[in-house]
Structure 1
Amino acid sequence: MGIFGGQFANVVEWNEHRDDIIFHKWSNNEIKKGSKLILRAGQDAIFMYNGKIEGIFKDEGEYNIETDIIPFLSTLKGFKFGFNSGLRAEVLFVNTKEFTEKWGTKNPVVLAAPQLNLPGGLPIRAFGNYSFKVDDYITLIDKLAGVKTEYRVEDVKLRVSAVVDQLLMKWIATEGKDIFNLQAYSLQISAGIKSDLDMELCKLGFSVTDFNIASVSYPEEVTRMQNKAAAQAMVGDMNKYTNISMADGMSKGGSSLAGDMVGASMGMALGSQMVNSMNNANQGANAGFTNPTLNGQIPKFCPNCGTPTTGTKFCGNCGTKLI
């Protein structure tokens, strides 16, 4: 690059800063005397000359390039603007925020599950989110900014999506001790994926600051089996499970066979209880009764119903006390 140019700029800034853009290269690289650099919150400005980083500026504000910037540049600190001369340099604006994005398996990840006798294995899906940020400006410029004027979050998402399925399968095999309860091992699996993903993205100048698994989903038939097993474990045994299921059917007002059976059983029990209560009441009422006409002798016939007596103190037919 040369020092001289015919087109000059008065302001060096990234005035279309967007949250989905990771870096933006200032397009007009002719800087003239009196130009200013405007640096906004969440931005770093990297001055480059002949492909080499000359200086990095991080504090937001307005800078006079001739007096506030050039004296701090390694190679150009002695540069003097002439009447018709300008500084031909590049300025790269970097978004310093931490980006958080969602991820999800592109295709089902198939796990070995011989106990299920499923063709090909157990297919699962998972999703969650991850966070990353720019970490190494030298690598970023060498791998990306040297050939691109702009780089977006969507570009990183494509790279993550290309490897996350393989990393998920790898770390499930390493940490997923129970493939039917992978959520219990999500922290260990997430930590392994984060480490590998960080190694992948650091090649571009990024670091992965977080990775987590929000949910793991199984095929519908496996989910049904899991729910049934959980319900049986909660109840304790099949008899209790059946009783609870029958009672649940009654509470919903259904006319199922189970509900009818429980209703009939309850009716029979209630009827039996009423009969027993009436008998006990009759016996209780007769227990304190003495027939004054018998003078302590057991009659040959019951004075109440006329049934012949057998020498017992109570009538065998109606239960009347005889003495």
Structure 2
Amino acid sequence: MAFFKKQFANVVEWEEFRDDMIFWKWNNSEIKKGSKLIIRPGQDAIFLNNGKIEGIFKDEGDYDIESEIIPFLSTLKGFKFGFNSGMRAEVLFVNTKEFTVKWGTKNAINIPTPQLPGGMPIRANGTFNFKVNDYIALIDKIAGVKNSYLVEEVKLRITSILNQLLMKWISKEGKDMFNLQGNAFDISKGIREDLDMEIMSSGITITGFNIMSFSYPEEIQDMINKNASHSMIGDLNKYQQVSMTDAMSSGNVKGGGVASDMASMMMGMNMANQMMENMKQNQSTPTQNNNNNNNTAVEKNAKPNFCPNCGQKTGGANFCANCGQKLG
């Protein structure tokens, strides 16, 4: 029975498929006469003989290995199945999709900066993308000694050098240490190129690298937020008024009862005083001009109490009754 069981045709397919698996190697037994090859969407099948590529098949479907696969192999195309013989070959199934991986710094990276002698502790997170692009390099470096390869293994390799690359590109001259998000595109571009150079010898290429956010220590982030708020509002008095108004309207003035009433009253008095000051400033110039004009007019219309010519009391008349001198 064992002899006849060995002759049963087998199905060559990716038996342990996982979405996070980059490749899987079929090498369970000899390929028998009448065996089938199954290639599913998103997979390539690579026939190997003694670690060398015999043929690459990319079109999905079911294939008869003897009639549809062997004729296209490099050195095995003349192979003939015998009564008691099978073809010794390995089939490497490769996941052809682009993988997306989330990353994040486990510990803060201390970036050198003149403002802080010990460096600026910064964390970051984002995603990177990669895919297999060179089967020969993949087999030489990885698949030659491994039967499968997971995304997590690539992630570990990437994250092991990511901190150094973040430090390198964040520290580039001209970067605003308190607004790194504004430089995220340039930093990401530099890191992607460096990562690609690091990993390309394994037959994998980094197709994308993105930084979603940078995070600072809480006290530094609070300082950045306050600075941004003051810059947006411009006038600190207005900022304080708006903050107090929002706090009262949202019920965030702590204490309640008398404390809340007192805060509201003080806010109202301050706003009223500010309004009065503004009104005085706006009205001061016109009022002074009007007073000056009125004083000038009064001075022009005033008449002397005594005649400047003869000294006779005038009594407010337009002409002196004694000498006829015009008055005013």
Deviation at 1:27, TM superposition (A): 2.6
Structure 1 residues 175, 96: CA separation in 2 closer, same or farther (over 3 Å shift)? farther
* Counterpart for residue 190 of structure 1: 188
Q: What is the TM-score normalised by the length of structure 2?
A: 0.75
* Counterpart for residue 72 of structure 1: 72
Structure 2 residue identity aligned to 1:138? I
Q: Could you list the per-position Cα deviations for residues 193-223 of structure 1 after superposition, in whole angstroms to 9, with x for gaps in the alignment?
A: 1101111111211011111000100000011
What fraction of aligned residue pairs are identical, expressed as a percent?
65
Contact 2:39 2:45 (8 Å CA) reproduced: yes
- Distance in 1 between residues matched to 2:86 and 2:8, nearest whole Å: 7
* Counterpart for residue 205 of structure 2: 207
Q: Report the more deviating stretch, 149-158 or 231-240.
A: 231-240
Aligned 1:256-275 pairs, distance under 5 A: 259-265=264-270
- SS in structure 1 of the partner of residue 22 of structure 2: strand
- Distance in 2 between residues matched to 1:195 and 1:85, nearest whole Å: 50
Aligned 1:60-99 pairs, distance under 5 A: 60-99=60-99
Q: Would you say 1:181 and 2:186 are equivalent positions?
A: no
Q: Report the more deviating stretch, 254-263 or 18-27.
A: 254-263
Contact 1:106 1:161 (8 Å CA) reproduced: no
Aligned 1:71-220 pairs, distance under 5 A: 71-115=71-115, 117=116, 120-174=118-172, 177-220=175-218
Contact 2:7 2:84 (8 Å CA) reproduced: no
- Distance in 1 between residues matched to 2:274 and 2:197, nearest whole Å: 71
Q: How many residues align?
A: 264
Deviation at 1:8, TM superposition (A): 6.4
- Distance in 1 between residues matched to 2:17 and 2:274, nearest whole Å: 78
* Counterpart for residue 51 of structure 1: 51
Structure 2 residue identity aligned to 1:202? M
- SS in structure 1 of the partner of residue 32 of structure 2: strand
Structure 2 residue identity aligned to 1:63? Y
Contact 1:132 1:207 (8 Å CA) reproduced: yes
Structure 1 residues 261, 39: CA separation in 2 closer, same or farther (over 3 Å shift)? same
Q: Report the more deviating stretch, 248-257 or 94-103.
A: 248-257
Structure 1 residues 265, 165: CA separation in 2 closer, same or farther (over 3 Å shift)? closer
Q: What is the TM-score normalised by the length of structure 1?
A: 0.76
**Equivalent position to 1:228, from 226, 229, 233:** 226
- Distance in 2 between residues matched to 1:182 and 1:268, nearest whole Å: 42
Structure 1 residues 246, 38: CA separation in 2 closer, same or farther (over 3 Å shift)? closer
* Counterpart for residue 10 of structure 2: 10
Structure 1 residues 70, 252: CA separation in 2 closer, same or farther (over 3 Å shift)? closer
- Distance in 2 between residues matched to 1:226 and 1:166, nearest whole Å: 25
Q: Could you list the per-position Cα deviations for residues 104-135 of structure 1 after superposition, in whole angstroms to 9, with x for gaps in the alignment?
A: 112211112332x4x51110000000110111
Deviation at 1:237, TM superposition (A): 2.5
Structure 1 residue identity aligned to 2:85? S
Structure 1 residues 265, 176: CA separation in 2 closer, same or farther (over 3 Å shift)? closer
Q: Report the more deviating stretch, 259-268 or 162-171.
A: 259-268
Contact 2:27 2:89 (8 Å CA) reproduced: no
Deviation at 1:266, TM superposition (A): 5.8
- Distance in 1 between residues matched to 2:211 and 2:126, nearest whole Å: 4
- Distance in 2 between residues matched to 1:68 and 1:175, nearest whole Å: 59
Q: Structure 2 stretches of 5 or more lacking a match?
A: 1-5, 254-258, 276-328
Contact 1:176 1:185 (8 Å CA) reproduced: no
Structure 1 residue identity aligned to 2:267? V
Deviation at 1:78, TM superposition (A): 1.1
- SS in structure 2 of the partner of residue 32 of structure 1: coil
Contact 1:9 1:30 (8 Å CA) reproduced: no
* Counterpart for residue 298 of structure 1: none
